[in-house]
Amino acid sequence: MTLFPPLNPGWLNGWLPLVIFYASYFILLGIFPKETVARLYDNTGWTEGQARPAKIGLPFALAALILIIFIPLKIDLPVFWIGLVLALVGQAGFVYSLHSFNITPLGEPVTVGLYKISRNPQWVAFAIIMIGFSLMVGSWTVLILLSVRVIMNHFRILGEEHALEIQYGQSYLDYKKSVPRYFLFF
């Protein structure tokens, strides 16, 4: 891992895993009913203060993604293989979480699949994927930029959970008591 790895456009760069991740994401969004996609991106009931952290974290994520595109994959280093495993595990969790979200009837909070062990499995999986990508390109800078995004997402999630409390009432409050926000104890 280096702080500033050289940027070198090429075929074996971080854009490869990014394309695979985003292609699978957009394919799922294309397959899902429009109501599911609208629900996935619904931010009604949020105040500007609740939405602001996502806006603050977005430039950091975009900078990280641009760096990933132009940094060669470190295939010859063990850190690449660790990152690949993390990215694949995260990808599987992300797809499974989206599937669980899709099969949950509208008007009910999502509580099936990985939502039984995390109230935010999509975000947990996304963070794992991005850590994996950071390791695959061997960049501390990418990891730091993505960490800012993850921290900002935490505050975004607090706003999202407040909106879900209003939307679903007691059923969501009961769910919050029984399932951790992220994973196991956190």
Q: Is residue 12 part of a domain?
A: no
Q: How many domains does the chain have?
A: 1
Q: Is residue 5 part of a domain?
A: no
pLDDT in tens, the chain (186 residues): 788 888 888 888 889 999 999 999 999 999 999 998 888 887 776 777 777 877 888 899 999 999 999 999 999 999 999 999 999 999 999 999 999 999 998 888 898 999 999 999 999 999 999 999 999 999 999 999 999 988 888 888 888 888 888 888 888 899 999 999 987 655
Q: Is residue 77 part of a domain?
A: yes
Number of H helices, E strands in the chain: 7, 0
Q: Is residue 127 part of a domain?
A: yes
pTM, two decimal places: 0.87
pLDDT at 99: 93
pLDDT at 31: 93
Q: What residues make up the domain containing 65?
A: 29-178
- How far is it, in rounded angstroms, from Cα 67 to Cα 29? 26
pLDDT at 86: 96
Residue 86 Cα to chain centre, angstroms: 13
Nearest to 120 by CA among 73, 182, 165: 182
Q: Is residue 97 part of a domain?
A: yes
pLDDT at 93: 95
**Tokens encoding 110:** 């999502």
- How far is it, in rounded angstroms, from Cα 82 to Cα 136? 8
pLDDT at 56: 87
- Phi, psi (rounded to 5 degrees) for 5: -70, 155
pLDDT at 184: 63
Q: Is residue 4 part of a domain?
A: no
pLDDT at 26: 94
Q: Is residue 46 part of a domain?
A: yes
End-to-end CA distance of the chain: 28
SS3 139: strand
